[in-house]
């Protein structure tokens, strides 16, 4: 996560001044300008030796930052001497999220699970006086009700993406002792549309959401591949668009995920072909336990998640059912967790309740089932 150092940072100043209380870190040892005017470089690594991303930041006011992997233990950050560079540092070759091992630490809560009680326009329109949960309240509510500190926040629920609001949201997340681990979003156009202008819009909007992800210290986004009214899913066109998006994600240290969501435009095997065509470690799969059941074929659903988990990296949607058109589709949670384990998946399982019943009770029930089976 970015930890900003102050303007005119002084050599020998402890990093503890600019981080949470109790953070054990050594003093700033060097600030060496790069060849590009107004830039500096700063490098860190964990005590166990895993390299962290190197960054250069525009330093008109001599601000410096480092981008750590996700939430290392506070006492394992060690400063390395600065590396002088001849030009701005490039993106890390691969993402390096440090995944937790504990069962509860690997669980996340998808804001979509609580869609009926969130303070969003459609809920407010139904009942202007309803007691709804704001996005700023959500981190604490999820922590207190479910014991979960990892959040997956749907971009369309953000009341604003202006810098001021994003700072408020990040402050609320930090105050709850939580973190955002994925930001799923739509991008307003199809990434495989035959119209180049529409594809360019989808790419541009994808980059904006990557920037939003950076602002809330989130290591990944899930980009929705929406349908095109003018053409069927096209691997070649999607490859070109997503290669650019993934490259931008890499430059920001943000993983881009694709989900088997819409059965028409995000078929699991279409996604697998796109990922294999792009071949970027920054473009990965987000296997959803049940979305591929919407085709009504149980075997197809398990084949789909079996195909996607080896291509996944940091996020998956854990659910036991899906409701579509009044029909309920169910999957075997234990069988799907076993598929993930066999594939060597080490990332988070984001609980996404889609079923029937009372939202709080049924979401908690799903959380408890996941805890037992992970």
Residues 326-370 pLDDT 10s = 888 999 999 999 999 999 999 999 999 998 899 999 999 999 999
* Residues whose CB is less than 8 angstroms from the CB of residue 191 and which lie 6 or more positions away in sequence, other chains included: 199, 202, 203, 206, 223, 225, 226, 237, 238, 241, 242, 245
> Does residue 201 share a domain with residue 130?
yes
> Does residue 48 share a domain with residue 121?
no
pLDDT of residue 238: 98
- Tell me which residue of 94, 204, 206, 209 sits closest to 157, measured CA to CA: 209
pLDDT in tens, 296-327: 899 999 999 999 999 999 999 999 999 888 88
In a domain, 64, yes or no: yes
> Does residue 337 share a domain with residue 292?
yes
How high does pLDDT run on average in the chain?
Answer: 81
Percent helix, percent strand, percent coil in the chain, to nearest 5? 35, 20, 45
Average pLDDT over residues 195-207: 98
> Does residue 235 share a domain with residue 127?
yes
> Does residue 354 share a domain with residue 314?
yes
pLDDT of residue 85: 30
In a domain, 3, yes or no: no
The residue range of the domain holding 33 is 15-79
In a domain, 119, yes or no: yes
* Residues whose CB is less than 8 angstroms from the CB of residue 225 and which lie 6 or more positions away in sequence, other chains included: 190, 191, 192, 233, 238, 258, 262, 265, 266, 271
> Does residue 65 share a domain with residue 147?
no
The CATH number covering residue 305 comes to 3.20.20.150
Total domains in the fold of the chain: 2
User: How many H-runs (helices) and E-runs (strands) does the chain carry?
Assistant: 9, 15
In a domain, 52, yes or no: yes
pTM above 0.85, yes or no: no
Residue 200 token pair: 């360019």
pLDDT of residue 91: 63
Average pLDDT over residues 153-175: 98
pLDDT of residue 14: 43
pLDDT in tens, 82-124: 333 333 345 678 999 999 999 999 999 999 999 999 999 999 9
């Amino acid at each position: 996560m970015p930890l900003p150092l102050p303007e005119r940072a002084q050599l020998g100043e402890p990093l503890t001044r600019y981080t949470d209380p109790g953070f054990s870190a050594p003093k700033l040892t060097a600030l060496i300008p790069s060849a590009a005017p107004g830039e500096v470089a700063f490098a860190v690594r964990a005590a166990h030796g895993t390299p962290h991303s190197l960054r250069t930041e525009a330093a008109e006011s001599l601000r410096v930052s480092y981008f750590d992997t996700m939430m290392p233990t506070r006492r394992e950050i060690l400063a390395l001497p600065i590396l002088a560079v001849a030009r701005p540092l490039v993106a890390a070759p691969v993402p390096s999220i440090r995944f937790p091992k504990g069962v509860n630490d690997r669980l996340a809560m998808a804001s979509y699970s609580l869609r009926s009680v969130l303070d969003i326009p459609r809920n407010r329109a139904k009942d202007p006086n309803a007691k709804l949960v704001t996005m700023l309240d959500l981190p604490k509510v999820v922590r207190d009700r479910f014991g979960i500190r990892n959040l997956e926040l749907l971009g369309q629920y953000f009341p604003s993406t202006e810098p001021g609001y994003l700072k408020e949201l990040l402050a609320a997340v930090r105050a709850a002792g939580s973190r955002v681990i994925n930001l799923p979003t739509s991008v307003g156009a199809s990434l495989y549309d035959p119209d180049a202008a529409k594809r360019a819009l989808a790419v541009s909007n994808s980059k904006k959401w990557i920037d939003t992800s950076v602002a809330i210290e989130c290591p990944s986004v899930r980009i929705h591949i929406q349908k095109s009214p003018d053409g069927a899913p096209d691997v070649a066109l999607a490859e070109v668009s997503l290669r650019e998006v993934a490259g931008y994600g890499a430059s920001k240290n943000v993983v881009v995920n694709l989900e088997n969501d819409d059965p028409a435009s995000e078929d699991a095997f279409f996604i697998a072909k796109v990922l294999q065509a792009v071949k970027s470690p920054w473009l990965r799969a987000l296997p959803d336990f049940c979305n591929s059941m919407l085709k009504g074929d149980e075997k197809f659903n398990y084949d789909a998640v079996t195909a996607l988990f080896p291509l996944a990296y940091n996020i998956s949607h854990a659910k036991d059912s899906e409701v579509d058109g009044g029909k309920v589709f169910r999957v075997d949670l234990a069988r799907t967790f076993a598929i993930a384990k066999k594939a060597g998946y080490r990332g988070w399982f984001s609980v996404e309740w889609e079923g029937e019943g009372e939202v709080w009770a049924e979401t908690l029930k799903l959380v408890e089932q996941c805890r037992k089976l992970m």
